[in-house]
Structure 1
């Protein structure tokens, strides 16, 4: 028993001595590796600040800018770690780390597929010039002002002050209409006049009203006017014109103003805008059936 204990102790001491000898032998490499790690750490902080300063002008979203800068910083630290392991002749450890990182990346990618997709879409949206904070956009059935583009979602404020949160992946996969990319919008007004109206006069008055109501319309020739159909109780027409606007609210205000001014002008010229009229024809048999049903209900 004593001999076995002595043998075990000798083996342990020999092992510790071999480790100490290996440590002393590799002490210069360890010192260089520590210096490399320290340099990579301070370099990562410098890279983080520099990257953040460079991309802050192109990306308005602070969260996205910090994410990109942090990714670049982490890459710098990882490069320093691999260099340190190489200095210490730990090639097997580097291979193990790379293999583990690859497997971990696959597992994490499968588990967070939706989240990663939204995050990547948020980064892409941040670099796109056709959508910015303050733009009035319409997408996936919603229209409003872009008030934030976060890592995972885009936030719209609709005209009724409701907040809509849309995943970035949905924005990337669907068409988007940006009203703020152009400074002009076309307003369409539809109306109808009575059959007894002078159609030439109706067209003239409508064009003059629109021209006088909006300063950006230089003359009546810039106003489109078309009679569209013989309606049930009126002859309907379509009037279109362009205004200087960057969001749908300005377009809505212009349409409202045009409707009010057209109504005033038509009333002043005794031009009738008729109500919808429906004529019902009832024969004696229908009236008798209705009277019988009424008497049955009262009984």
Structure 2
């Protein structure tokens, strides 16, 4: 009479032996495949090393060619990045084809296209900033060194990359601004020109000859060092204020923020000095009280007469 337990144990033993044999065959196959692919992997590493060397020399050549021209620094950075990116893409494609001989350039490009769509959805913000960085570098305005203001951020553009722009605030801090923000929102470039117009308000008393006051203010401002008198000084009477007639004074000076503060300081001092010398009053605010009934001016009840 046969033993059922012994038969089941024998089948389990045979299955275990077959599994171990299959696993051993797979490991041997993988090891043989790795050994066969080892020369190709070494060649791929050599190709990557050559790609690194070629990219390094290509950037030096590009820097020399671009350095002899009056190209903008931001556009120079874009050319360096594109040259490096193209060389590395070609080198990586060649290395992949060497490691996987069955892969063709067409299949690799097709795979990259499908992968690019998937990556594009996953990293939409990153690619948005990348494309915005390219467009910012291509456009002529907003050069490195300009003072800009955008969405409450005001400072000097120090560096532009394909991802973000480094803006040094006037108080010294640096702000990393995403390129998409600078591309999609209005950007005010304060130093697009070397000069811009500044203005200040000056008030004189109501009993002043306004023509005389305007001439005094104009001569005072024209004598200030650092302003461009050739572009003219504007003095406009603009407002009947509570205690003065106000003039808006406009002049041209340097476009940098410090130039604005320095020239404004000199202009205010010159206007004050000129009006004082001419005997023209710069009034304090006056308050007039009106009463419906007559206010007695005599002694209050109970006081001694």
Are residues 216 and 260 of structure 1, via their aligned partners in 2, closer, same or farther at CA, if it must alter by over 3 Å? Answer: closer
Q: Is the 8 A contact 2:220 2:274 kept in 1?
A: yes
The separation in 2 between residues aligned to 1:280 and 1:166, in whole angstroms, is 54
User: Deviation at 1:207?
Assistant: 0.8
1:93-242 residue pairs with structure 2 within 5 A?
A: 97-214=108-225, 216-218=227-229, 222-242=232-252
Q: Is the 8 A contact 1:226 1:237 kept in 2?
A: yes
For 1:80, the equivalent position in structure 2 comes to 94
> Which 5+ residue runs of structure 1 have no aligned equivalent?
24-29, 285-299
The separation in 2 between residues aligned to 1:231 and 1:121, in whole angstroms, is 48
With the length of structure 2 as denominator, give the TM-score of the two structures: 0.69
For 2:273, the equivalent position in structure 1 comes to 264
Query: For 1:273, which of 242, 258, 282 is the aligned residue?
Result: 282
Q: Is the 8 A contact 1:33 1:83 kept in 2?
A: no
- The structure that is helix-richer by fraction is 1
> Which 5+ residue runs of structure 2 have no aligned equivalent?
1-17, 294-305
The separation in 2 between residues aligned to 1:231 and 1:238, in whole angstroms, is 12
User: Deviation at 1:74?
Assistant: 2.1
Q: Is the 8 A contact 1:49 1:69 kept in 2?
A: no
Question: Paired residues, what number?
Answer: 263
RMSD over aligned CA atoms reads 4.0
The separation in 1 between residues aligned to 2:130 and 2:244, in whole angstroms, is 55
The separation in 1 between residues aligned to 2:118 and 2:251, in whole angstroms, is 57
1:12-27 residue pairs with structure 2 within 5 A?
A: none
The one-character-per-residue Cα deviations of 1:106-147 (angstroms, maximum 9, x if unpaired) are 222112111222233233333433222221112222322112
User: Deviation at 1:216?
Assistant: 4.9
User: Deviation at 1:97?
Assistant: 4.2
With the length of structure 1 as denominator, give the TM-score of the two structures: 0.70
The separation in 2 between residues aligned to 1:153 and 1:74, in whole angstroms, is 22
Are residues 276 and 158 of structure 1, via their aligned partners in 2, closer, same or farther at CA, if it must alter by over 3 Å? Answer: farther
